[in-house]
């Protein structure tokens, strides 16, 4: 028995997303009406290949808002007060209810990640049958595609704890792999991507919208290695983390905000940043969890930079908050994919895990200073104490960026979260969508 939603996603939605993306600010195309899939797979032109690249980069953004607010709610970082009651009922386990494996918060992030992966697989298939670009140029496309596939799989694993890695043949999808198996495959895909990039002659025949400073194979390698550093950390390969970071854009003394981003615009066919919310808006607002405000160190400037006190506190379904999101200034503000701030925290975590505590403390103090405006850490300098400090710095540096739920899960700390209403529950992983369970 096949999965009906998969067939829709992989055949209709993924290709529609390419066509929409191709008309926005990602790339101006000669033909706004892209050809049929069969034509693209048979000797695609450079313009058609670049349409696919634009589609991949665009569909990386799809579902980000739902995935981020969903995991943020489950991790008690925030509440999404909007018209859908499931955001304040299901995600918090109200009255003992379980998560729904066929609801939007489960299906849309999952589908979005695999739409992007499918687009990347279409690109690689098209490269096999085209004479429009040289073999070296094909390697640049392949290196880009495999790096993005790996990044998207990490996002699946963070939210769902397992992933299908082999989805090349939509009629014969590979099995779900558990986290430990899948993250090894992610590292393998990244290493394959690196080889492609190194064989490209440093040629990208395509433009990239959100990769300023990383838009050639030689510089894109740094994003590939940054992604591998994160995968290596999650795989528990801490010596690899340091090697990967050394070959990425990680810089202890550099700009903590340097990195790659999702970009948005008001252009026809494009989308805006749906994590932006109008100040003081009611009815569709991201409300900061009170614990994030109250448990911050005194003087932490991340609180005032990322959150705004409301004139009137917001309440819904017996939940309330004094602050709302101020993370993004406008609806076209970019969203970070990976930035140096996260890589410094990755470095600190690897150093703690290998008991190199002086190096870890140096990195944590850089984050405290440059991101939080805080004085140096003056607590106990044991592995346990510095782990707690690491998680606190990740909590405030990476607020509302789809990290907290996974951080708590991987450290087995989810049960430390507050219960805001009697009868609520703590969830730390989303169920695999119902349609995907048919053959399991």
Q: Which residue has the tokens 């991340």?
A: 302
Domain range for 250: 4-267+335-413
- Asked, for residue 391, whether it belongs to a domain, the answer is yes
Predicted confidence at residue 25, as pLDDT, reads 40
Cβ atoms 194, 143 nearer than 8 A: yes
- Asked, for residue 36, whether it belongs to a domain, the answer is yes
| pTM, 2 dp | 0.92
CA-to-CA dists, residue 3 to 7, 161, 174, 194, angstroms: 7, 20, 13, 33
- Asked, for residue 195, whether it belongs to a domain, the answer is yes
Split into its structural domains, the chain has a count of 1
- Asked, for residue 300, whether it belongs to a domain, the answer is no
State the pairing for strand pair 285-288/259-262. Answer: unpaired
CA 349, CA 410: separation in Å to the nearest integer?
Answer: 13
Burial of 376 (0-12, 13-18, 19+ CB in 10 A): exposed
- Asked, for residue 75, whether it belongs to a domain, the answer is yes
Q: Provide the greatest CA pair distance for the chain.
A: 64
Which alpha helices (H) appear in 129-248, and where do they start and end? 135-160, 179-198, 217-235, 238-246
Tokens in use for 80? Answer: 């999404």
Please tell me what DSSP assigns to residue 210. S
- Asked, for residue 301, whether it belongs to a domain, the answer is no
Predicted confidence at residue 170, as pLDDT, reads 85
Helices 179-198 and 135-160: crossing angle, nearest 10°?
160
State the pairing for strand pair 319-325/307-316. Answer: antiparallel
Predicted confidence at residue 288, as pLDDT, reads 98
**DSSP H/E element including 6:** helix 4-8
- Asked, for residue 361, whether it belongs to a domain, the answer is yes
What is the chain's pLDDT, residue by residue, as a tens digit (440 residues)?
222 223 333 343 444 444 444 334 434 444 444 456 887 888 999 999 999 999 999 999 999 999 999 999 999 999 999 999 999 999 999 999 999 999 999 999 999 999 999 999 999 999 999 999 999 999 999 999 999 999 999 999 999 999 999 999 988 999 999 999 999 999 999 999 999 999 999 999 999 999 999 999 999 999 999 999 999 999 999 999 999 999 999 999 999 999 999 999 999 989 999 999 999 998 899 999 999 999 999 999 999 999 999 998 899 999 999 999 999 999 999 999 999 999 999 999 999 999 999 999 999 999 999 999 999 999 999 999 999 999 999 999 999 999 999 999 999 999 999 999 999 999 999 999 999 964 44
- Asked, for residue 326, whether it belongs to a domain, the answer is no
CATH code where residue 340 lies: 1.25.40.390
């Amino acid at each position: 028995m096949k999965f009906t939603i998969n067939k829709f996603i992989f055949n209709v939605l993924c290709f529609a997303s390419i066509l929409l993306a191709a008309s926005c600010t990602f790339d101006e195309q000669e033909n706004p009406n892209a050809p049929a899939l069969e034509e693209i797979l048979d000797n695609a032109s450079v313009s058609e290949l670049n349409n696919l690249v634009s589609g991949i980069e665009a569909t990386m953004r799809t579902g980000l808002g739902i995935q981020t607010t969903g995991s943020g709610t489950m991790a008690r970082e925030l509440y999404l007060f909007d018209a859908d009651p499931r955001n304040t009922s299901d995600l918090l386990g109200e009255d003992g209810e379980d998560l729904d494996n066929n609801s939007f918060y489960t299906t849309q992030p999952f589908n979005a990640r695999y739409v992007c992966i499918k687009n990347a697989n279409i690109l690689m298939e098209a490269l096999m049958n085209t004479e429009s670009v040289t073999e070296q140029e094909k390697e640049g496309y392949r290196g880009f595609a495999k790096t993005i596939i790996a990044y998207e799989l990490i996002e699946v694993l963070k939210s769902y704890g397992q992933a299908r890695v082999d989805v090349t043949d939509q009629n014969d999808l590979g099995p779900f792999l558990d986290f430990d198996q899948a993250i090894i495959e992610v590292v393998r895909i990244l290493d394959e991507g690196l080889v492609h990039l190194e064989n490209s002659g440093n040629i990208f025949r395509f433009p990239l919208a959100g990769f300023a400073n990383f838009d050639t194979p030689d510089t894109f390698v740094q994003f590939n290695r940054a992604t591998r550093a994160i995968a290596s950390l999650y795989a528990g390969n801490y010596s690899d983390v340091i090697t990967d970071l050394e070959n990425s854009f990680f810089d202890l003394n550099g700009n903590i905000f340097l990195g790659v981003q999702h970009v948005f615009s008001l252009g026809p066919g494009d989308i805006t940043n749906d994590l932006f919310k109008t100040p003081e808006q009611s009815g569709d607002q991201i409300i900061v969890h009170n614990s994030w405000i109250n448990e911050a160190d005194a003087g932490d400037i991340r609180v005032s930079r990322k959150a705004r006190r409301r004139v009137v506190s917001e309440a819904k379904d017996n939940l309330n908050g004094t602050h709302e999101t101020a993370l993004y200034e406008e609806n076209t503000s970019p969203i970070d994919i990976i930035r140096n701030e996260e890589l410094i925290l990755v470095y600190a975590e690897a150093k703690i895990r290998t008991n190199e505590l002086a190096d870890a403390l140096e990195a944590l103090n850089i984050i405290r200073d440059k991101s939080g405006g805080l004085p140096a850490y003056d607590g106990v300098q044991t592995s346990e104490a510095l782990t707690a400090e690491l998680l606190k710095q990740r909590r405030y540096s990476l607020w509302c960026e789809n990290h907290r739920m996974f951080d708590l899960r991987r450290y087995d700390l989810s049960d430390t979260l507050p219960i805001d209403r009697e009868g609520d529950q703590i969830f730390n992983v989303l169920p695999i969508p119902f349609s995907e369970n048919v053959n399991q």
